[in-house]
Structure formats: structure tokens, C-alpha cells
Amino acid sequence: MLEVRDLQVAFGAVAPLSGVSFSLAKGETLGIVGESGSGKSLTAMSVMGLLPLSGGRITAGSIMFDGQELTTLAEPAYRKLRGGRLGMITQNPMTSLDPLQKIGPQVDDVSRLHLGKTAAEARARTVEILGTLRIPEPALICDRYPHQMSGGMKQRIVIAMALAADPDLLVADEPTTALDVTVQAQIIRLLDDLVKERDLALVLITHDMSVVAQTCDKVVVMYAGRAVERGPVQAIFDAPQHPYTQALIGCIPKGLSEDEHLIGIPGTVPTVLNYPKGCPFHPRCDRAQEICTTERPAFVHNGDSAAACHFAGSAP
């Protein structure tokens, strides 16, 4: 459904994103995981064709969506696709809805624009979708304003808008970061059901490895604008090859054992202006050697998964 090859993005002379590849089939969930500033949202924006808005452009690589090349697509054609077959769920439901418009019209607009429905048909469809998202009394909700609803409810409305035009691919950028844990569990479960029921392809962007563990089929771990490890979720968690992946998993409190110790990852993600030479992770890596500071590691393949580390495969 979606195939991204060696994607490179530049803003003027700086290239915050390079060499990102992944693929995704119908009914599959792909997790893109990494810290803030690792290029996850930029990847999402590239797929959605939203880069020009922030002054970026794709300088190399390809994005194939259902056999169609997106990197060369003209904006009018992109506009038909985006919000239609390409749905997006943004991070902050508080700012994704128009505060001055009622819920109903906001969701109606999507199917009127993309599916050519009449006002009455669109409203019927809206009510039906809100119902499938387990929103109580959907017909009444249509007459409410966003400020009258809780954060979890607003996120469901945003999901409803993404679903209104019957998309094939859904990109969810940190859909639960702003929500409480119980509501996070509801939303994640909902997305999971949608993928299965509608045979959607879902790209889930998150910084939380436990969300990945619970929902995704495949994972791409990103660091400093590059994919550093990718593979099926079980393999990544069973035997993470890249030290960064190992560190991300180590950041989650697992349980109650006394000797468990959270250490975090020392240091911070480099900004795009000072991406380190060699392996981008080497300044924060406790296994870094001479070679890591000079040579960029190539992907080492191991079954279905691959890691860009000089010492992949020799992990302790």
C-alpha cells in the first residue's frame, strides 16, 4: 500500500531527513518510533505532502502509494488524495478542530468534499461514523462545539474526520500523547479495531515503545533523521540490535522487580545543524568505538530485520 524508499528531505542547505525506507501493506500497522527531533513527524509530513507548507522539499527517494508516485504529484492531485484516501490524525486534538464550528459540519465537510455527498447524506454518514467510534448519542454530538467535549472525545472526532472519506492509509502522529492513560488505552484499542475491520494501513508515530509493543506489526526506529533499525515488532523486542533501540526499550518501567533500574539515554538528540559524523548515535552510545565516529554504519540484515550499527549482530 505504501512504500517509502531512501527518502531525503531538505530545508535549504540542511537535510534533516535522509535514507528513510519502509513499506506497509493493507491491514498492517507500522510504528515509527524515536525521541523528539528524530524526524518522525517530518516523515509523516512527507507522506502527506505537507512539506512545502513549512518550506521543506523532498530531494531524493520515492514514496509509492498504491502504485502511485507521490513525490512528483502536483498539488491539486495531492489535495484530492489528502484527507481522502490518505487520512491523518494529528497529535493535539485541542488544536485540530475549529473552535467556532460545530462538530457535525466539520466532519460533514470531509465526505462532501471527497465523496461528493449531499448535506443530508454527509450528515447521515457522520452520525454513522461517530457511532462506530463508540461516541454516545452521535446525533446530539453533531450540535456541540469542541470546547464542550473532553480531550478523548475530541481525539475521536479527529479520527472520525480522518475516516469520513474512507481512507486506505491512516497516518497517526502521536495520537495519544496528550491523553490520560485510560483514554489512551481506549483510543489505541479503537485504532487497532479499525485497522482490522476496515483493512486499513496505519502508520503510528510515537516515542513510547510500550505503545509500539501493544499495537504494531512492524517498527522503524529513527534517530537524527535516519532509520537506525527496522523489522517485525517481535524480533525488535526479542533481540534489538541497535543500542538506541535497546535504550528506548530500557526507558519503560517494566514491573516491580527491585533491581530494575531506569537509566534513560544520556545526552540529547542532536539538532539538524550538528548531526554528528559517522554513526549519529555515537556521542550517546556506551558501546561506541573509533570506527563509529568516522564511518556511517550500513544496514546489517538479520532475517526480516535490519540495524544500522557497526556492531549489530554482536550485541551482548
Partner 1 sequence: MTNLLEVRNLSKQFTSSGGPFRRARAMHAVNDVSFDLPKGRVIGVVGESGCGKSTLARLILRLIEPTAGTLHFDGEDLRAKSPAQMRGLRARMQMVFQDPYSAIDPRYTLQRAVMEPFVVQGRKTIGSEADEVAALLEMVGLNPGLASSFPHQISGGQKQRVGIARALALRPSLLVLDEPTASLDVSVQAQIISLLEQLRDDLGLTYLFISHDLSLVRYFCDEILVMYLGRVVEALPDTELAARHPYTKTLMDSTFAPDPKQRRVIAPLEGEVPSPFDLPPGCAFADRCPQATDICRSETPELAERGGHPVACHHPI
- Contacts with partner 1 by CB under 8 A lie at 35-36, 134, 136, 150-153, 180-186, 188-189, 207-211, 213-214, 233-234, 237, 247-256, 260-266, 268
**Closer Cβ to partner 1, 180 or 199, answer by number:** 180
Cβ atoms of residues 26 and 168 within 8 Å? yes
- Helix, coil or strand: residue 60: strand
- Closest separation in Å from C-beta 128 to partner 1: 20
- Closest separation in Å from C-beta 119 to partner 1: 30
- Residue ranges in the chain assigned as alpha helix (H): 40-48, 75-81, 93-96, 103-115, 119-132, 138-141, 151-163, 181-198, 209-215, 233-238, 243-250, 290-294
What is the secondary structure of 251-312 as a DSSP string?
A: TS-----TT------SS-PPPGGGPPSSSTTGGG-TT--HHHHHSPPPEEEETTEEEE-TTT
- Closest separation in Å from C-beta 116 to partner 1: 35
Cell of 166: 474512507
**Closer Cβ to partner 1, 135 or 162, answer by number:** 135
- Closest separation in Å from C-beta 211 to partner 1: 6
**Closer Cβ to partner 1, 271 or 314, answer by number:** 271
**Closer Cβ to partner 1, 67 or 264, answer by number:** 264
**Closer Cβ to partner 1, 86 or 219, answer by number:** 219
- Closest separation in Å from C-beta 253 to partner 1: 4
